[in-house]
Every structure is written in structure tokens, then in C-alpha cells.
Structure 1
Amino acid sequence: MKKFQTLAAKLGIIGGLLLLAASVSIGYTLWASWQLEGGAAAVNEAGRMRMQTWRLAQTLARGDPAHIEAQADQFEQSVALLRNGDPARPLFVPRDARSTDAFADVQRAWTLVRGHWTASPVPDSAQAAAEAEDFVKHIDRLVSAIEGRLSYLTAILNMLQVFMIGLTIASAVTLLYSAYIFVFNPLERLKTGLARVREGDLTARVKVDSNDEFGTLSEGFNRMAETLQELYQNLEVKVEEKTERLAAQNARLSTLYEASAFAAHAATFDELASGFARLARLAVKADATAVRWTDEANQRYLLVASDGLPTEISESEKCIPTGGCHCGQQHAQAGTRVIPIHPAHPGSFGHCSKAGFSTVIGVPVKLQDRMVGELDLFFNVPATLTDEDRVLIETMGSHLAVALEGLRAGALEREAAVAAERNLLAREMHDSIAQSLAFMKIQIGLLRGAIRHADEPRVERTVGELDAGIHESLSDVRELLLNFRTRTSGEDIIPALRTTLQKFEHQTGLATHLSVEGHGVPLPADVQVQVLHVVQEALSNIRKHAHATEVWLDVQQEPPWRVTVRDNGCGFVSGAVQNDRHIGLRIMHERAERIGAAVLIDSMPESGTRIVLTLPERRRLAA
């Protein structure tokens, strides 16, 4: 029975009963309205049957058999409509006994009349009129029966409407009274109790006289008042404890923020380790700290920084094997440990016991599953580690591990960048200067042979080729310096392209033209560098091989980006490019492949050359 004592159950029962009564009344009202509509339609159809009866009698007087049969069929359809009904309109004969008997009487009379009127010979007009008048009386009795039923239903409908009005008034009164008994009255008591508590009267209590939600709420209010009364008695003590706890938490958070900021700005490994040693000592108020780094195999620990640690320990424990001391944990058993130093066994603790330390706390510095190092805390007095301090020092160890990995990744990235730049420089020198020097070495050998045989024409020819090779190498060196000094702005590649064309024009004396179309989103910096190098390589090929007088550079910035380098030089056969020995064309293809772009070379002898660099969509560039 407890489930019926709740406020929701009480209001639900009252509302459910009222809703049930209203639903029944509404349902019966709808049924009565449906009956009234169907009966009214049936009365109309019966009236139509009277009209059809007189019209059929007139047709009998004229003696037209075809029309008589057609009108009889129409009348038969009306009878069938009343018999079967039409729910869509609606139209049906009421199901009460009087209406049913009257309709059955109409059907029997119609059967007799139709058989007499459709027989041969047909009755005369006087007889047909008499029979029609007698048949219409049967229809009138049907109409009277239906109208009587409709009057009965109308009276019931009016009574239901009056009942629903009364039900509405009673429902409103019942709900208001129930709301006052079950809601407003308990709510007023709670409001009074709250007012007394707000004024400082913690002895205020609320009477509990029900088991519903307000009863539960009243019990909760009473318990709250009792708790407040108890808390108020020792409020100052609790506030002081809470204040100290919050101050400690704020200090720990400040330490973590300081450690995170320091890790983000530390530039070197030594600076990072020394700073964390100092921060860890201040965080847990240790007498000394040490930061140890371990190798990948976790075979030894190297002391990289300390704070407050005696010189004797620093010098003697610069490198310790894993597991050879209480410091330097093995990876498999690594965890935060509190190690008490027993005065009765000073030999097992070595230098720590001689330095006067009573407790050592070892915190592993781990990055995911990899052991990076260890953070050791030394205390002169016996010390324990609270849960808050444990979380703090382990979090600092995680920050230290992440920072160490960040420095390592940064160093690897810088090393990779230097290696890539060196590889680029080596490739450029190999593809240009190295080949020229190899050519000159061969020419020097030929020159020595010509001098040895005193072949003056051959000597002159070889010296000329050496002179041309030296000029070619010098041009290659200048071009390399030009390419490596020209850089993109990071925002727009057009200024860098314009500078490249100006230097090319100054170096070769060829007329250059720059055309820019569209206003697309700037390319990423790494893509700009590759595009610039492709253009520089195309210009280098023009200088070496094209024998041109003008050069055009067309840039389309709208997606897809397209960079075109054209000249009016001698050109070559495009189909022979794949089997060609031109190193520059291969370099352009390699640079384009790095950024997912495509290089199209279109040339014909004596018609110049067109090199088109088409960049992929921006989504692929981002990928």
C-alpha cells in the first residue's frame, strides 16, 4: 500500500478517475453524435424514396416499361443503401427494434409493389396512385421510427452535456481541494520552517503527517536543520580545516602549473632536470632531491640533476646499476616507494645513512610503458606520503617524462631537418657541380695527352672546353646560391616568385613576365618551398638548354593551383623526355611527387617549351 501513499499516486488516482469519467462521457457523446448523423442521413434518404415512389407511379401512368425498370432499380439502390448503410457519410438505419421493424415492413411492401408494377399488364394510373400512397405510408412509419430514435438520442446528448458541465466544475473543485490538502498546505509548512531557519532559528522543525513526497521532504528538512545545528556548534573548526585543505590544494595546483610552465619553456636537458629537482623539493618540503635518467634497456641510472644533495652522494652515485641500490628501480617493479632508513642497519643504506637521511621516496618517471628515469626525495626525519602528495609528485614525474620526450623529439626533428637540408644540398651539387667537375677532369686528362703529343689544335679545343666548363660550374654555383637564398614569406608565394624572376632576368639578360590570376587561399609553407624549387629548376633548364629570349610565368591561384613556365626557345621532342638524360626534369618530377602534384612538359622543336605544375586539392595538401 506504500505506493498509493505518494503524492504522485494520490493525484494520479484522483486525476485518473476524473479522466475516466470524462472519457466515458466524451465517448458516449461521440457515439450519440454519430448515431444522430447516420439517422438524419437515413431520414433524408427515406424522403428521397417517397419522391421516387411518386415519380414511379407517374411513369406507370405513361406506360413506359424501360423507364419503369430503371426507376425501380434506382429505388432498389436506395433500399440497399438503407439496409447496408454508408459509414463514410455516415448513413444507416438506427438499430432499435421500432426502426428495424419499420424498415423490414418497407422492404416487404416494396417487394410486393415492385412485383405488381413491373408485371404485365401494368396497373392504370388510379390504381398506381392508390398503391403509391399506401406504400408511402410504410415509408412515413419508417421516418417516424427513425425520428423517434433521434429524439431519444438528442435527449441523452443534452443530458450528457449537462453532466459534462457538472463534471468539469466538480473536477476543478476536486483538484483545487486536493492541491490544497496535498501540496499547498505542506508547502506552506515547509516555507514557514525555512523562514525560521533563515532568521537563525536552527531549532525549527516541520511536522511530518504523511508518507508522500512532502513527508519525505519534511523529514529531510528536519535532518538538515539538525545537521546545521550540529555544524554551527563547531563551524570555526571545520572552516579552518577546510581552509587549510583548500590552501594545500591550491599550493599543489600552483606547483603543477609552475612545473607545466617550466617544462614548456625549458630549453635544455640540464635546465629541465635542475628545475624539476628544485620544484619537487619545494612541493613536498623535502631536504634534498635527485633526478636520475635511465637508458633504453634500463640497465643503469645516471644522476643528471640534484638539489640540496650532499656532494659525497652526488659524486659517488653519478651512475648506479639498476637494482644496485634502493634508488634506481627496475622497470618491471617500478612504482612510488617510501623507503625508511633504519639506524640499526646503516650499512645497507650507504651514503644516505651517513648523510643523516631518515627516509627516501623514489618516484619512477615513466612515459606510457617506457621507463625514462627516477625522481628521488630525501628527508632528514621519518616521513610519509599522503595520497594528495603522492598524486602531486607522480603527476610532476609525468610532466618531467613528457618534457624530456619533447626535448628528445625536438632534437630529433632538428637533426632530421639538418639532414634533409644536407641531402638537398648534396643532391643539387651532385646534379650540377659534381657532373661539371667530372667533365673537366676528363678534359684535363685529354689536355695532358694533347700537350704530351704537342697537338696545338687539340690543346686549344680542350682549353676552350675547360673554360666553358668552368663558366658552367660558376653559373651552377651562383644558381645554387640564388635558390638557397630565395625563401617564401610564409603567407604568399608570389613575392618569392617575383624575386626569383628578377634575379633570373638580371643573371641571364632574358625578358621575364609574371601573370597572376585569382585570389586563392595561400599554400602551406612546405608546399610553397617545393613549388618555388620546381620553378627555379625550370628556369635553370631554360638558361642551359632553351636558347630563349623571353620567359613567362603564369600563376593561377584558384583551385586547383596551376603554375606554368613558358619560353620561346628551341624546344625538343616531348616523347623523348622519359628516355632523356636531363637531370633537371627528373628533379622537378621528384619535387612534385612530394606534395602530390603533377608536372606536364609540352614542347615541340622550334616552338618553345611549356612546363605546367598542377597542385592537388587543398584537402589532399592538408593530408
Structure 2
Amino acid sequence: MRTKPTLTTKLLAMGAGFLLVALASIGLTLWVTWKLEGGAAAVNEAGRLRMNMLRMVLVLQTEPPAAVQERARQFDVSLDLLRTGDPSRPLFVPWSHETRTRFDGIRSQWAVARAGWVSSLPPDRAQILAEADAFVQQVDGFVDAIEIQIAGWTAALHLFQLFMMALAIVAAVTFMAVSYLLVINPVARLQQAQARLRQGELGTRLPVDTDDEFGQLSAGFNLMAHALQASHDELEHKVREKTASIAVQNQRLAALYEVSALASTAGSLELLAQGFVQQIRRVAGADAAAVRWSNEANERYVLLAGDGLPRTMAEGEHCLHTGTCLCGQPQAQARTRVIPITPSTAVALPHCREAGFETMVTIPVQMQQRLLGEVDLFFRSPVEMTDELRDLLEAMTRHLASAMEGLRATALEREAAVAEERSLLARELHDSIAQSLAFLKIQTQLLRDAVARGDEVKRDRSIGELDVGVRECYSDVRELLVHFRTRTSEEDIESALRATLSKFEHQTGMATTLGMVGHGLPLAQDVQIQVLHMVQEALSNVRKHSGATRVDVLVHRHPRWRFEVQDNGTGFDTASVPPDSLHVGLGIMRERAQHIGAVVQVESAPGQGTRVCVELPSVAPAQAVASTQAAASAPVAVPQPVFTS
């Protein structure tokens, strides 16, 4: 099978042809020039024959015979040179019929003349001159014949040079045309296609018209463009897939963010459930949704919130016993399920089937292996739950469970705080008003006995004691009111201390001072409250028992918080006061200090006043608050409410 020549073969063949033509033309020109040079040298040699003939005539008339023979011998050498030629000079006679006839005539005439001239008796002068003139005319004819031949060669050379000029022009035009067709045009098309490809026209293709190198380049360019277009299309497809995946992820993140925001802002379980059921219905594309709450024993499910539920269904399934219907699965079987509702499906309650729902999705609300409730999604068409949607719904449900548990923990914290405040109030009442009322009760009984016996002295003394006891009880009530209404500052405790001392000074008439030493981070608000209550307890003890006229409060902020309450009263023996005594409030102060990790120290001696020092731990206030909150938010075994139908 014959193959077409390649571009390299074509270019080499064209170049070889041009080279052969050029070499042939140059060789022919050199050969013609060489011949012309040889003919010109032959003309010069023939002219030398004329000159030698004239010298021969002179030699015949004046020189001896030996000189004539020498001159004749040189004449013979010249004739022989014209006959044979000399390539080295070069010297060639352009032989033709005319030149050869003329040369033969010259030789024959020279032979006749030589025979007479070299004899012992040379001819006379007139004969010699006649023979010489005839010989010169013969030589002139020979020269004319050579010149005619040379003129013909010169004319042929000029015609050949004109032909070569025309051939050069035609060859140049042909080379440019062939170069344009075979090289320039394919290169230009390749550049244009590359420019279009660079501009984004990935469908650009080149026609493959030949099997040469440019045809192979065009085929390779087409393969490259096809691969690039396929890669670009595949890349666009992957980008679209990734974009869609990112959009789905963004929707999931947005849904989770909305659930988290709802969990952080909802103030009650009902608001949380109502907001969540609307969001999960929108995310799942369900026709209706419901959130059910289960009691701790998982005996029944109560409908907390619903969205899109028919009224009859909401009222009829407000409270379901566990396992009685498709909703309300037992804790042991709690998992995400897709349940088709068909005419053959066994349901205890017909509400969902009567509402036209064909598919139900149940998602358990679980927190730490404890079932809190269930989320039900209802669809009026068959639904296939994808893994991504299942993960999203379960993640949203876990957020709901965390939010429910957070609301429960917050409620328990509030309940614990109320219980603690009630306990504190009970201790305060017991240590102050209750004891005063008990004393008043005893004095009332003594007064009744004194009146019954008619003992006026004891009667008056009991009345005086009752008056003093009522006044003290009234003072204790006012002090408790001031004590429980005191608030702290979020930044510094100094303002609260100054307000407390101002009220104490106004009520008792004692002089007070407050000193703040050093600089430190502000205390947390709950720590401030506990410290302020302990300072108020110390001031209350000063008012009740010290008999002092002056109280000094000194606060050290650095390196740790320390509060000192110093009075100039009578003092007491600390060894005589039991550690668990509540008579002077030391027990209450120690309980408060224990909550925040502080230490209470009491220094006193009879007649030297009393100094009460409250020193906080060296840990950062934020850490102390965190530990206090962690202790307060520890799990408490509080029974959950029981829902009944």
C-alpha cells in the first residue's frame, strides 16, 4: 500500500531539485565560460601566427638559414598548439566545419611555404611577401571563424543567463507558494485554533486534510482539545456536584444553627417545642409534624406541639400510651423509622389514615440513654429517607434533647436556688426573730403568772422585758429587710459595702470607716452577695453584742481578696464559743464561706474588741464561680411531672 510523502520528504525533494538546477546552471555557465576563454586564447594564438609570419619574412631577408629553421620550428609549435589545445591555459579552438577548413588551409599553405623558405636557395623577396600575405589572409579567415563561433557561444550564454533569471523568479514564486500551502497556512490555522481555544472555545477542531506532519499535529491538537473539553465538562460537573453538596451542607448548618438559636432563646418547653416542630417540618418537607414528650417511666407520650396536624388528630392523640399505635415507641425499640401507612397497616388509632397521610417518620428524642420523647413527621405521599436527611433530622433532634435537658436543669437550678434562699431565710428567722419571739413567749407566761399572783414587781419587770424584747424583735425585722434587699454591683463590691455601712451607721449611731487596699479583678456577682452577707452578719453581731462605738472595715484586693471587720467593743473569749454556735451568727457565716471556698477567722479578747476576717481562695474569681455553678448544677434526683390523660 503506497503512502503519501511526508512534509519533510516534500521539502527535501524540492530543495534537492533546486540544488540540482543551481549546480547544473553553474556548471554549464562555467563550462561555457571555459570554452569562451579557450576560444579567446586561440584567437590570441592565431594573432601570434600573423606576427610570427611577419618576423619570418624579416628573418628570411636578414638572418642565416639556421635562424630561419628555428623560427619555422616555433611556427610549427604554434600550429600544433592550436590543433591540440591546452586545458591548463585554457586554450581551445571552437572547432566547427569552417574553423577546421580554415585551419587545414593554414597548415597546407604553411607546409608549402616552409618547404621553399627553409631550402638552401630561398625564394625572392616578392614571392615571400606574396606567400606571407596569402598566409595572413588565411589566418584572418581562421580568426574570423573562431570569433563567429565565440559570438555564438556568448549569445547562448546570455540566453541561458536570462533563462536562469526567469527560472529563479519562477522557483522563488513556486517556493513561496509551496511554503504557504505546506507550512505557513497550516501554522496559521494552528495558531488561530490555539487562540480560540485559549479564549474558551473548547469545541474548536482542525480539519485533517493530509497525512504529513501538520496533519499529525492537527490530529494531536484535536485530541488535546477533546481531552481538554472533556476535562472541563467533567470539572464543571464536579463543581456543580460540590456546589450542590455545599448548598446542602449550608442548609443543614443553617437548620442546626436555627435550632441552636431556638434552644438558647426559648424560655419554656412549650415555646421550644412549637418553634422546633415548625423548623423540622420545613427542613424535612413534611405535610405535618408533632413533638411528643414522654414521662420518665416511658409509660405515655403527651403532645407538646404540632404543626399542620388536623384538629381531630391533635385532640385524639394528645396523650398516647406507649406502644398503642405507630407513634410512641417503647424505649427499648427507640430508633428512627420510616413507616408506610397503607390500608393493610395495623393502626390502633385511625386519625393519621383518615387525614390522608401515607408515610410517617418517627425520630426518638434521646439524651444519655434516656428517652425524652419523640418527633413524628407525616407525609401524604411515599417517602424515601436518605442518609443525609436522616443524619440532619437526628442531629436536630439531639439539639432538641439537649435544649429540653437544659430547660430541665435550669428549672432544677431555680428550684435549688429557691430552696437555698428559703433555708437561709429560715436560719435568719430562727437566729433572730424566732429566738426573740421565744423569749417574748416566756416573758408573757411570767407576766401571766405575776398578774395571777398579784406580784407587781415581777409584773413590772416582765412588762419591761416584753418592751425590750419587742423593740429588739422590731430591730431584727428591720435588719432582715435591709439584709435581703441589699444588691451588689456587677463591677466592684465597694459601692455595696459603703451603702451597707451607711445604713448601719444611721441605725446604730456608730462611726464606720471603709478602706480599700490594692487592685485586683472584680468578684463575680454571686461571690459578692455571699461576702456582703457575711459582712452584714459581722456588723449585726457588733450591734447586738459588742457595745462598740466604732467599726472599721478593711478590704484587701491583692494578692487575694480579704475582708476585715474590726470593732472597739468589749470583746469575748473565742474559746468559750462552740464552733457550731449560731447565737452570734458564726455558723451562718461559715456556711456561706464554705459555698465559695472562703475561710472565716475570728480574733477577740475581753476588753480588746473583735476582728472578723473573711479570706477568699487564691484561685481566679472566674474559676471559683465556675466551680460554684458546677456544684449548683449537679444532677439532682427530682421526679419529673406525671402526665395523665
Aligned length: 416
Structure 1 residue 586 corresponds to structure 2 residue 582 = no
Structure 1 residue 336 corresponds to structure 2 residue 339 = no
CA shift, 1:455, in A, is 0.9
In the alignment, the residues of structure 2 paired with residue 377 and residue 234 of structure 1 have an alpha-carbon distance, to the nearest angstrom, of 38
What does residue 113 of structure 2 align with?
none
8 Å contact from structure 2 (residues 523, 621) kept in 1:
no
**Identity over the aligned pairs, expressed in percent?**
56
Per-residue deviation, residues 529-557 of structure 1 (Å, max 9, x unmatched): 22211211111111111111111111121
Write the mapping of 1:242-257 to structure 2, written as runs, cut at 5 A. Answer: 246-257=246-257
CA shift, 1:420, in A, is 1.2
Indicate the SS of the match to 1:582: coil
Write the mapping of 1:103-142 to structure 2, written as runs, cut at 5 A. Answer: none
CA shift, 1:589, in A, is 2.6
Write the mapping of 1:240-389 to structure 2, written as runs, cut at 5 A. Answer: 246-345=246-345, 350-389=350-389
8 Å contact from structure 2 (residues 601, 612) kept in 1:
yes
In the alignment, the residues of structure 2 paired with residue 379 and residue 416 of structure 1 have an alpha-carbon distance, to the nearest angstrom, of 44
CA shift, 1:240, in A, is 6.1
CA shift, 1:615, in A, is 2.2
Structure 1 residue 433 corresponds to structure 2 residue 458 = no
Per-residue deviation, residues 384-437 of structure 1 (Å, max 9, x unmatched): 112222122111111111111111111111111111111111110111000100
What does residue 502 of structure 1 align with?
502
CA shift, 1:460, in A, is 0.5
CA shift, 1:499, in A, is 0.9
The letter of the residue matching 2:305 is A
In the alignment, the residues of structure 2 paired with residue 355 and residue 340 of structure 1 have an alpha-carbon distance, to the nearest angstrom, of 14
In the alignment, the residues of structure 1 paired with residue 538 and residue 576 of structure 2 have an alpha-carbon distance, to the nearest angstrom, of 17
Could you state the TM-score of these two structures normalised by the residue count of structure 2? 0.60
Q: Which ranges of structure 2 fall in alignment gaps of 5 or more residues?
A: 1-193, 205-221, 625-645
Write the mapping of 1:216-231 to structure 2, written as runs, cut at 5 A. Answer: 228-231=228-231
The letter of the residue matching 1:471 is R
In the alignment, the residues of structure 2 paired with residue 581 and residue 356 of structure 1 have an alpha-carbon distance, to the nearest angstrom, of 71
Could you state the TM-score of these two structures normalised by the residue count of structure 1? 0.62
Indicate the SS of the match to 2:267: coil
Structure 1 residue 611 corresponds to structure 2 residue 612 = yes
Write the mapping of 1:388-399 to structure 2, written as runs, cut at 5 A. Answer: 388-399=388-399
In the alignment, the residues of structure 1 paired with residue 260 and residue 251 of structure 2 have an alpha-carbon distance, to the nearest angstrom, of 14
The letter of the residue matching 2:617 is P
The letter of the residue matching 2:512 is T
**1:596–1:403 CA distance, 2 compared to 1 (3 A):** closer
Indicate the SS of the match to 2:444: helix
8 Å contact from structure 1 (residues 302, 320) kept in 2:
yes
Structure 1 residue 405 corresponds to structure 2 residue 411 = no
Per-residue deviation, residues 427-483 of structure 1 (Å, max 9, x unmatched): 101110001001101111111111111111111000100010001111111111111
8 Å contact from structure 1 (residues 346, 353) kept in 2:
no
What does residue 419 of structure 1 align with?
419
The letter of the residue matching 1:504 is F
CA shift, 1:590, in A, is 2.6
Write the mapping of 1:555-566 to structure 2, written as runs, cut at 5 A. Answer: 555-566=555-566
8 Å contact from structure 1 (residues 270, 305) kept in 2:
yes
Per-residue deviation, residues 491-510 of structure 1 (Å, max 9, x unmatched): 21111111111100000011
The letter of the residue matching 1:600 is Q
Per-residue deviation, residues 17-48 of structure 1 (Å, max 9, x unmatched): xxxxxxxxxxxxxxxxxxxxxxxxxxxxxxxx
The letter of the residue matching 2:611 is R
Per-residue deviation, residues 289-338 of structure 1 (Å, max 9, x unmatched): 11111111222111111111111211111111222111111222211111
Indicate the SS of the match to 1:551: strand
In the alignment, the residues of structure 2 paired with residue 249 and residue 614 of structure 1 have an alpha-carbon distance, to the nearest angstrom, of 53
Q: Which ranges of structure 1 fall in alignment gaps of 5 or more residues?
A: 1-193, 205-221
**1:434–1:203 CA distance, 2 compared to 1 (3 A):** same
Give the superposed CA RMSD.
3.0
In the alignment, the residues of structure 1 paired with residue 236 and residue 608 of structure 2 have an alpha-carbon distance, to the nearest angstrom, of 97
8 Å contact from structure 1 (residues 595, 621) kept in 2:
no
Structure 1 residue 545 corresponds to structure 2 residue 584 = no
In the alignment, the residues of structure 2 paired with residue 274 and residue 560 of structure 1 have an alpha-carbon distance, to the nearest angstrom, of 49
CA shift, 1:561, in A, is 2.4
8 Å contact from structure 1 (residues 443, 465) kept in 2:
yes
Indicate the SS of the match to 1:601: strand
Does 524-533 or 507-516 show the bigger shift? 524-533
Per-residue deviation, residues 273-298 of structure 1 (Å, max 9, x unmatched): 11111111111211111111111122
The letter of the residue matching 2:338 is V
8 Å contact from structure 2 (residues 553, 565) kept in 1:
yes
**1:236–1:611 CA distance, 2 compared to 1 (3 A):** closer
Indicate the SS of the match to 1:291: strand
CA shift, 1:380, in A, is 0.9
**1:461–1:246 CA distance, 2 compared to 1 (3 A):** same
